[in-house]
Structures are given as structure tokens and as C-alpha cells.
Chain A
Amino acid sequence: MKKILNLKIFSVVILLSTAALISIVAIQGCHQTEKREGTEFANLTYAPEVPSPILRDHPSKVIVNLETKQVVGRLADGVQYPFWTFGGKVPGKFIRIRVGDKVEFHLHNSPTSTMPHNIDMHAVTGPGGGAPASETLPGHSSVFSFKAERAGLFIYHCATQPVPLHIANGMYGLILVEPKDGLDPVDKEFYVMQSEFYTKDDYGTPGLQQFSMDKALAENPTYVVFNGSVGALTNENALQAKVGDKVRIFVGNIGPNKISSFHIIGEIFDKVYDYGGKNVTQENVQTVLIPAGGAAIVEFTVKVPGTYLLVDHSIFRAFNKGALGMLKVSGKPNKEIFSGKQKDEIFTETQAELNSGAIESDNSVSIPNDDQPSEINENDINAVIQKGKQVFSRTCIACHQITGKGIAGVFPPLAGSDFLNADKERAIGIVLHGKKGTLTVNGKTFNNIMPPQNLSDGEVAAVLTYVYNSFGNSKKVVKSEEVKKVRNK
């Protein structure tokens, strides 16, 4: 009796504990909202700097202070523009927070401003992205709060009437909302913002510029720049990295009109977060589309030293309107990945045609491989001549032509050449060392450059023997010892 009772009690206890365990696990699973702890002031940075990654593992209250100010500044060398700014510079400061943070935003409008300003942050869920809540007269401040609901890289800009003008004059920046577990660690992070400026005068006209309504409506910018001015990221202002660095660039494009085709010449983006969204959407991308009022995050590892150009690949903007930046990478070369220029050779059309098989050399002799050594008996003239013909077809016809007639006024003929037939030793010397300056062949003057030929003694002897025994020449014979003698002179 007791045994059965014990068993019953036992099973009931087990059942109840299991039920309890399951419900605890279930509740934990449902419990999505993190608990917010602490208050901190956001550390904002000017481009191209980015604030340090968020280290905390919980959301907090974050206080952001940002001032709007109208400032005349440099748009290009000798060119000034009356900018409207967040924080005194274009682009505005970078804001870095974590998903779940409650931001208390203080927007200050400098008393020197001539008009009200506000802020619309694409990271805000709420009317106007915060604009009506932050409309601020000069010499006043506004405060409003929002919760960062979604992780991602977002644009912010002023949205006071007329909005396009406030944007066109420089009022924009980026706000990064880090996901819960942050972004992967990298060696370098940079902030790049593409934007356009519309001025009455042409690109580069010195002096204080005026906004051009016409060009803005026609969507024909005078300037397309990274980080607010021509040359903001070039030469001494270039981004810097070392070979082996993993680099991340937070790229924004505010427009106001154009879409960007963002590309770094010489690099491939290993990872791309399209549109500045939460996830990596593609790998191994050459050029990223960034919509006006949008952003993207790109990551890549630099492997070869040198200067890498940041461009909008709508390439006339990069070349003629200022959409050009630089990333300078220092460190040891890596010839395995990139050799740099290895050779510089002469090239003419005939060589191209021969290479492509468009024309055939005499007797359909195929062009031999470079690494085919040909040891022949020098006493066998015919063998020498055959070998010489091969060398000739490979090395000489580019300039002297397969007929040996050369090109009038450019390359001297070998056929029936008085110059060639007059002096065998001189001919050997020219094949070995090349020739610069004027010479006269059959009464015609030539002034060009013949490069030294990279041939063995046997090859020089063979090719000259072939030339002397062809094209109506004097039928001389050249031996390799003679070549060696001239070479060692």
C-alpha cells in the first residue's frame, strides 16, 4: 500500500516539476524586451572619424547634443559656400548608439542662425522622424526623446521648409544603431558621406558661391563630393590603413538628387550590408548602389600597399565634379597577389595580327615557344638558317616586317640594306645592344629606337645568318663566337 502511495506522490512531484520547468523556459523565451540601464552622453565625431563601438550589452538612456549652425566654409580650393550645418561642418557629426537605447535628443540652434532648423533621423519611428518635435528657432534649444527600435545605419537631415534647400546646403549626417551583439571587430572604421552642391557658377569658380535653384531642379549638380568638399579625403586628408587591416566604411548618400555607385578602385568589398540594413547581403562586390537618403556598410581587407581611390562610378562625377577620395595603404608589397608592371615591350599591328593568327609567316612556320632551347650544329647552314627564320618571325618582324622591308620613314629595311651588308660586326652589336639616333639605309634616313634583343649568342648568330641569306642580302654567315666576342667587348 505504502509503496503504491510513494510511487503516486513521486510521479506527481515529477509531473509538477516538469511543468514548472517548461513554463519557466517558455516565459524566458517570451521575454524579449531588454532592461534599460544607466545614462550616458553620446560621443559624436566629425567625418571621417567614427565613435568607438558600443561595449555595453544592454540598452541605456543616451543624451545627444547637436547644434545647428550656418557657416561659410571651403567647398573647393578658392571656392567658398554658405553652408548650413549640424555641428559646424559638413557632413554633420556621426551618432553611434545601440538598439533599444532611449535617446534624449537636444537640438540647439545657434543664435547666429537666420532661420529655424530641425532634425529628421531615419532611425526614428515617429512623425517626421523627429522633425516637428525638434523645430528650433535661432538662439533656442528643443528636446525630444525616441527609442531606437531597429539596428542599422541611417541618414539624418534637417527637414525645415523648404526641405530640399536645407539639405542642399549641407544639413545631414549618419546615425548608427548597433545590433544587440554589436558589429564584428575590425581594424579601421571610417565615415564617408556623398553629397551634391548646386552653384550658379561653374565648377572651380573661385569666391563665395550661391545656390542655384535651376541646377537643383534640373538635378545637375556642380559638385559631387565626399565629406563636404573637394579633396576632403585626398592627399594629406586620405584615409590610412596598413596591409592586413580589416576596414569597414559607413557610407551615406544624402543626394539631394543623385544615386551613388560607390566603388573603391583596386579593392573588392568582401561584405556588403546593402542599404545600411542589419545583415550582410552580399559578398565580393565591386560597386554598391546607395540611394539618395540612404546608406551602406562595406567591409574589406587590404592586402597590397598603394593608394586606392574612392569614387562614384558615375565616373564624370569622380573626374569632373569632385567625387574622389583616397585610402592610402602602407606596408610590405605582396607580389603574389599583385606584381606591378613586369615588362614594357614594343608592340605593332603586325605582331598583333600574327599573335591572333590573322596572317601567316612565310612557309607557315609556327612561332616557337620562348622556352624551347634549340641546340643545333652551327656547321649546318640550313639548320642555322631555319632556326634564324624562327627567331626572325618571333622577334624582328614586328618592326622590320616579314618581308624585311621595314616601314617607310619609321623602321629601316633589312632587305638589300647597304647599312646591314657593309658591317657584320656593327650588325651584331645592334642586335645585342639596340640602336638610338639617326642612320641612313639605301639613301633614306631613319631616327628611331631599336631595343636590345634578349637572345642567346646562338640565336643572334642564327637570325643574322638568316637575314644575310635572305631578302637579297650579301649571304654572310655569323657564328656564335663572333657574337660572344662583340657581347664581351
Chain B
Amino acid sequence: MKTGFFLIIVMMTFSLLINAQNNESTKITVTKMVYIKGGNYLPLFKKNGSTEKEQIKPFYLDIHAVTNKQFLQFVKSNPEWSRSNVKKIFAEQSYLKDWQSDFNPGGKVNPTAPVTYVSWFAAKAYSKWVDKRLPTLAELEFVAMADENSPGPNHSKSYNEKLIRWYLKELPVKLPNVKSTYKNYRGVYDMFGLIREWTFDFNTANINGTAICGGGSAGATDLKNYPAFLRYGFNSCLSGNSALDNLGFRCAKDVK
């Protein structure tokens, strides 16, 4: 009787332990999201020469970018996305370049900093794995329009200058934590000052076919918005498998 009781306890503890272990490996740290009400927004480059504002439907957006720690969980559960296994067409040579090994970011990488050196394909796969999606260019630009205190699009001179300053800064050797810059009016962190972010339709930045890569400003709606030009210029040069050291992502989700 006593042995039986003892055995049951041992088995229960054992199964608990096993469960705990399983939970540990399948536990996904999902980023908190905020509800974005949506509204009107004038894109930097007009579609077909129209000056009509675009309508942004309500959606949810991650309050911060996906971290190294979070991405590691994804790679562990989906080893085809580890550095040695990933196909070159999905992620170029520099994919997860700063990680120590396939399943270990290592001491030089800050686990709660945004993951970088990830391609669009990898970002898309992650977002699907957490049952989300990538935000569109319009959605991200719409949220990016806001500064700390107002929804935008008009900002103080100092705000625009602050943005340009960030683009001119050198990258820090070790990226700081997510949420370490500022929270904007929409409740979203680090829209600028940390990393560039993937969007679902990044290659529509070349909207009119104007050679943005070649420097065209024709058809731009706000010629003074140099930070926007920098983003559009950057986006229009990317490929799906690009993996760069200041490019990461965050996820969005439809409102059901």
C-alpha cells in the first residue's frame, strides 16, 4: 500500500516535471499588442497622382519589436529556420549573423534587444507561428506618424531633427532592450531610434515606378519629410531575403 502510494507520488512528480519541461520548450512569449483605431493617412508617394488620403482600418500592433529571446523560441520549434538550415533564397548569407550558433544567441547579443539580421521570409514565418502577421507599409507609417504626444502628421521642427539625428547616428555595438527609446501617442514603443522594421508590402515603396533607388522626389507629398524619404529609400532597395544589422520586425493582427 505504502509502496503504491509512493510510486503514484513519484509518477505524478515525474509527469509534472516532464510537463513543466514541455511547457518550457513550447511556452511562447507573445508580445502585448495595442489596438490602433485607424484613420486617414497621406502616403509619402501618391498612388496614381491622387491626393486622396488612404483609409487605415483598425488593427492590433505589437508594442515592441520581436526580441532575440522570442525569435530563439521560434527557431527551436522550427529548426528549418536555424542559421545552418535555412535556404539561401529565404535568407541571405548574413542571416542571424550575430548569433553565436544556430540555437544560441550567445553573450554578445542582448536577449531582450530586437532580433536583427532576419529576412522578410523569416519575419513572415515567425508572425504566422504566433498567429499574427506583418504590418503593412501604410499601417506602420500611420503609427509612425505619431510622436510622444500627438497623432501627427504635423510635428515640431525638433521632432523631425531628432529623427534625422537618429538616422545619422552610428549603430551601437550591442543593441539596447526593446522599449528603451520612447512610447508614442499610440502606445507603441521604439517606432524610431532603435531599428528599421519589415513590412508585409515593403516593395510597394517603389509605388509610382519612380526610381526611388535613384533618388526621385517627384510626386512626393511632403518634401521636407526626410526621415520618410530615408525609410522609403531603404525599403525600395530591400529584397525578401535581405538580412541587415539594423533591420528587424514586429507583428500586427487583424481585428476580427
Q: Counting CB contacts under 8 A, is A139 at the interface?
A: yes
Query: Which residues of A sit under 8 angstroms from B237, Cβ to Cβ?
Result: 116, 135-137, 160
Q: Counting CB contacts under 8 A, is B203 at the interface?
A: no
Pairwise interchain contact B233-A160, C-beta atoms closer than 8 A: yes
- A47 to B229 Cα, complex, angstroms: 31
Q: Counting CB contacts under 8 A, is A403 at the interface?
A: no
- A93 to B3 Cα, complex, angstroms: 85
Q: Which secondary structure characterizes the binding site on chain B?
A: loop
Q: Counting CB contacts under 8 A, is A204 at the interface?
A: no
The distance from the CB of B43 to the nearest CB of chain A, in whole angstroms, is 15
Q: Counting CB contacts under 8 A, is B49 at the interface?
A: no
Pairwise interchain contact A135-B213, C-beta atoms closer than 8 A: yes
Pairwise interchain contact B226-A162, C-beta atoms closer than 8 A: yes
Query: Which residues of A sit under 8 angstroms from B171, Cβ to Cβ?
Result: 112, 114
Interchain CB contact (< 8 A) of A114 among B164, B214, B215, B246: B246
Q: Counting CB contacts under 8 A, is A82 at the interface?
A: yes
Pairwise interchain contact B214-A132, C-beta atoms closer than 8 A: yes
Q: Counting CB contacts under 8 A, is A486 at the interface?
A: no
Q: Counting CB contacts under 8 A, is B230 at the interface?
A: yes
Would A213 and B161 be within 8 Å (CB), given that A115-B230, A162-B230 are in contact?
yes
Residue of A nearest to B213 (CB): A135
Per-residue 0/1 for A212-223: is the Cβ within 8 Å of any B Cβ (1 yes, 0 no)? 111001000000
Q: Counting CB contacts under 8 A, is A153 at the interface?
A: no
Residue of B nearest to A128 (CB): B214
Residue of A nearest to B233 (CB): A161
Would A210 and B165 be within 8 Å (CB), given that A112-B171, A131-B213 are in contact?
yes
Of the listed residues A127, A131, A137, the one surrounded by the most CB atoms of chain B closer than 10 A to its CB is A137
Q: Counting CB contacts under 8 A, is B24 at the interface?
A: no
Per-residue 0/1 for B113-143: is the Cβ within 8 Å of any A Cβ (1 yes, 0 no)? 0000000000000000000000000000000
Pairwise interchain contact B217-A163, C-beta atoms closer than 8 A: yes
Q: Counting CB contacts under 8 A, is A200 at the interface?
A: yes
Q: Counting CB contacts under 8 A, is B238 at the interface?
A: yes
Query: Which residues of A sit under 8 angstroms from B214, Cβ to Cβ?
Result: 118, 120, 127-128, 131-132, 135, 159
- A111 to B234 Cα, complex, angstroms: 14
Q: Counting CB contacts under 8 A, is A72 at the interface?
A: yes
Q: Counting CB contacts under 8 A, is A211 at the interface?
A: yes
Pairwise interchain contact B232-A161, C-beta atoms closer than 8 A: yes
- A101 to B100 Cα, complex, angstroms: 46
Residue of B nearest to A131 (CB): B214
Would A217 and B224 be within 8 Å (CB), given that A132-B214, A159-B215 are in contact?
yes
Q: Counting CB contacts under 8 A, is B33 at the interface?
A: no
The distance from the CB of A210 to the nearest CB of chain B, in whole angstroms, is 5
The distance from the CB of B225 to the nearest CB of chain A, in whole angstroms, is 9
Q: Counting CB contacts under 8 A, is A305 at the interface?
A: no
Query: Which residues of A sit under 8 angstroms from B238, Cβ to Cβ?
Result: 137
Q: Counting CB contacts under 8 A, is A243 at the interface?
A: no
Would A82 and B169 be within 8 Å (CB), given that A128-B214, A217-B224 are in contact?
yes
Pairwise interchain contact B215-A116, C-beta atoms closer than 8 A: no
Pairwise interchain contact A214-B157, C-beta atoms closer than 8 A: yes
Q: Counting CB contacts under 8 A, is A301 at the interface?
A: no
- A77 to B156 Cα, complex, angstroms: 32
Pairwise interchain contact B245-A169, C-beta atoms closer than 8 A: no
- A136 to B234 Cα, complex, angstroms: 10
Q: Counting CB contacts under 8 A, is A417 at the interface?
A: no
Query: Which residues of B sit under 8 angstroms from A200, Cβ to Cβ?
Result: 161
Residue of A nearest to B161 (CB): A213
Query: Which residues of B sit under 8 angstroms from A114, Cβ to Cβ?
Result: 167, 169-171, 246
Pairwise interchain contact A138-B161, C-beta atoms closer than 8 A: no
Q: Counting CB contacts under 8 A, is B177 at the interface?
A: no
Query: Which residues of A sit under 8 angstroms from B215, Cβ to Cβ?
Result: 120, 128, 131, 159-163
Pairwise interchain contact A210-B161, C-beta atoms closer than 8 A: yes
Interface residues of A in 121-153 (CB under 8 A from B): 127-128, 131-132, 135-139
- A115 to B242 Cα, complex, angstroms: 13
Q: Counting CB contacts under 8 A, is B110 at the interface?
A: no
Q: Counting CB contacts under 8 A, is A70 at the interface?
A: yes
Pairwise interchain contact B157-A137, C-beta atoms closer than 8 A: no
Interface residues of A in 316-342 (CB under 8 A from B): none
Q: Counting CB contacts under 8 A, is A402 at the interface?
A: no
Q: Counting CB contacts under 8 A, is A165 at the interface?
A: yes
Residue of B nearest to A84 (CB): B168
- A82 to B164 Cα, complex, angstroms: 12
Of the listed residues B216, B237, B238, the one surrounded by the most CB atoms of chain A closer than 10 A to its CB is B237
Interface residues of B in 169-211 (CB under 8 A from A): 169-171, 211
The distance from the CB of B235 to the nearest CB of chain A, in whole angstroms, is 10
Query: Which residues of B sit under 8 angstroms from A111, Cβ to Cβ?
Result: 94, 245
20 contacts between A and B (CB under 8 A): A72-B170, A82-B169, A111-B245, A112-B245, A115-B230, A116-B233, A116-B237, A128-B214, A131-B213, A131-B215, A132-B211, A135-B237, A139-B245, A161-B236, A163-B217, A165-B164, A169-B168, A210-B164, A210-B165, A214-B157
A116-B233, A162-B233 provided; 9 other pairs, C-beta below 8 A? A128-B211, A137-B244, A161-B236, A162-B217, A165-B164, A211-B164, A211-B165, A213-B161, A214-B157
Please report B residues at the A interface, Cβ cutoff 8 Å. Answer: 94, 157, 160-161, 164-165, 167-171, 211-217, 224, 226, 229-230, 232-234, 236-238, 242, 244-246
Please report A residues at the B interface, Cβ cutoff 8 Å. Answer: 70, 72, 82, 111-112, 114-116, 118, 120, 127-128, 131-132, 135-139, 159-163, 165, 169, 200, 210-214, 217
10 nearest interchain CB pairs? A161-B233, A162-B229, A132-B214, A135-B213, A159-B215, A128-B214, A163-B215, A116-B237, A131-B214, A82-B168
